[in-house]
Amino acid sequence: MKLTDSEKRILDGAEGDWKAKALDFVVRFGEAFGAERLVDVSYVHYPAEMSIYRGMVEDLLEYAAGGARVAVPTTTSTLACDLDRHASLGCPEPLARLQAAVVPAHRSMGILGTYTCTPQFLGFVPPKGSFIVSVESSAIIYFNSVLGARTNRGGFLTRYSAVTGKYPLMGYLLDENRRGTHLVRVRLSPGRLREDRDYSALGFLVGEAVGGEVPVFDRLGSPTWTSLLALGAALATSGSVTLYHAPPHTAEAPTVEAAFRGAEPREIIEVTDRDLDAVAARLTDLSPGDPVDFVTLGCPHYGLEQLRLLSAWFRERKARVAEHVRFWVCTNRAVRRAAEWEGILGPIEDAGAVVVADSCPVESHMRLSTCREYGLPAPNV
């Protein structure tokens, strides 16, 4: 790999041992994938949920104790439980203590405690063409597709990129890997793509078909930002899609032709009403009258507008959650506090639901959700 003089000095320890160690990881990772050089990144989204693993916690604490600081703005993904109310929500005390230990470490390193899978809705909106490093599949695909920023699936390398501000020039940072590969002709009846769950079903269907490729959607309708979020989350769940194009709704391609950059699609996929109905039925294992013991919304994390709609739904219907049912609505603490300040939270929690902050119940034995992203990791959705 060709390194600049500045990068060589960092490796030699001129800016501290921890930064040298971090850059060594970044360089070796890039060399393993054949990257020719490093690039500067402007933002990192870091996997706080890795604090469920002891080795990851201790490694983080060592970096913090050694005085390591992040070089670029860095946010955090979800924790494994709501630290403010872990006992009432059933989070084991040892796990809560383990996660609580990482919070001051994040602060000392300059990492922002956002604890969310949707940092883009807290104002972290990297501009088109910028190089970033992110975890969380729904955030990654949103950054790449809707915003046009450039990131791979960051994984464990995020901390090292946060400390150094560097990442190998490879993968979806390169122009040639961002062209479309599969054309998806959306041939649905008018009004069929109406709700977020319809976009979620479409994403799950296409993700299964294309795997890790780059689908291009023709005639996607009039999606909202929540529809695009649902579509991307599902694409990244049934497949490993990291980037899609949906002209003119996504950042890089104003037309279908532009999305393919002069190349022909490897495959054309046509989606009809029957296809969408079939995948929705396959992903639903409940029948009318079946018992439900756990309901969860907010995967990916709900924003303020979604909480406002849910609050109005409970208030207008005077609905209540059955006594034997746990109903969780997941968001981040910033949105939760804003909802509380605006009076949105009251009708939801008065009805018996719980607005959970900073966490994701993907390991729970849940039974009912609107989001396909839960469908693979949680066995009973």
Same domain, 46 and 111: yes
pLDDT of amino acid 369: 53
**Percent of the residues in the chain that have a pLDDT greater than 70, as a whole number:** 93
Cα separation of 327 and 325, whole Å? 6
> 38, 161 in Cβ contact below 8 A?
no
Within a domain: 379 = no
* Mean pLDDT for the stretch of residues 330-334: 95
pLDDT of amino acid 51: 65
Same domain, 56 and 194: no
Q: Which has the higher per-residue pLDDT, 366 or 239?
A: 239
Which of 169-173, 289-293, 319-323 is the most confident on average?
169-173
pLDDT of amino acid 90: 85
Is pLDDT at 367 greater than 50 in this prediction? Answer: no
Same domain, 113 and 248: no
Same domain, 39 and 168: yes
**Diameter over CA atoms, the chain:** 68
pLDDT of amino acid 48: 86
Same domain, 167 and 19: yes
Tell me which of 114-128, 166-180, 305-319, 349-363 is least confident: 349-363
* Mean pLDDT for the stretch of residues 307-321: 96
* Mean pLDDT for the stretch of residues 358-377: 54
Same domain, 166 and 307: no
pLDDT of amino acid 340: 96
- Number of domains composing the chain: 3
Same domain, 155 and 22: yes
Cα separation of 184 and 205, whole Å? 11
* Mean pLDDT for the stretch of residues 139-161: 97
Listing DSSP states for 90-117 in one string gives T--HHHHHHHHTHHHHHHHHT-B----S
Same domain, 129 and 229: no
Same domain, 185 and 228: yes
* Mean pLDDT for the stretch of residues 362-380: 47
**Percent of the residues in the chain that have a pLDDT greater than 90, as a whole number:** 79
- The residue from 282, 305, 328 where one domain ends is 282
pLDDT in tens, 81-132: 898 888 888 888 888 888 888 999 999 999 999 999 999 989 999 999 999 9
pLDDT in tens, 205-231: 999 999 999 999 999 989 999 999 999
Same domain, 220 and 360: no
Residue 104 belongs to a domain with what CATH number? Answer: 3.30.499.10
> 354, 346 in Cβ contact below 8 A?
no
Same domain, 31 and 101: yes
Q: Kindly provide the residue ranges of all beta strands, DSSP E only, lying in the chain, ordered along the sequence.
A: 38-40, 44-46, 74-76, 133-134, 166-168, 182-186, 215-218, 267-271, 294-297, 326-331, 354-357, 368-369
- The residue from 234, 253, 282 where one domain ends is 282
Q: Work out whether strand 44-46 and strand 133-134 pair parallel, antiparallel, or are unpaired.
A: parallel
Our measurement of the distance from residue 192's CA atom to the centroid of its chain's CA atoms, rounded to an integer in Å, reads: 26
pLDDT of amino acid 378: 45
Same domain, 196 and 229: yes
Count Cβ atoms below 10 Å from residue 92 Cβ, excluding itself. 12
Question: Of 177, 168, 141, 136, whose CA–CA distance to 155 is shortest?
Answer: 136
pLDDT of amino acid 328: 94
pLDDT in tens, 48-83: 877 676 678 888 999 999 999 999 999 999 988 898
| CA distances (Å), origin 66, targets 11, 61, 111, 257 | 17, 8, 15, 51
Q: Sorting pLDDT into bands at 50, 70 and 90, what band is 371? A: low
Predicted structure pTM score: 0.93
Is pLDDT at 339 greater than 60 in this prediction? Answer: yes
pLDDT in tens, 160-179: 999 999 999 999 999 999 99
pLDDT in tens, 10-53: 999 999 999 999 999 999 999 999 999 999 999 999 998 776 76
Within a domain: 311 = yes
Is pLDDT at 377 greater than 60 in this prediction? Answer: no
Within a domain: 380 = no
Instruction: Please give the residue range of the domain that contains residue 230.
Output: 179-282
Tell me which of 105-114, 327-336, 359-368 is least confident: 359-368
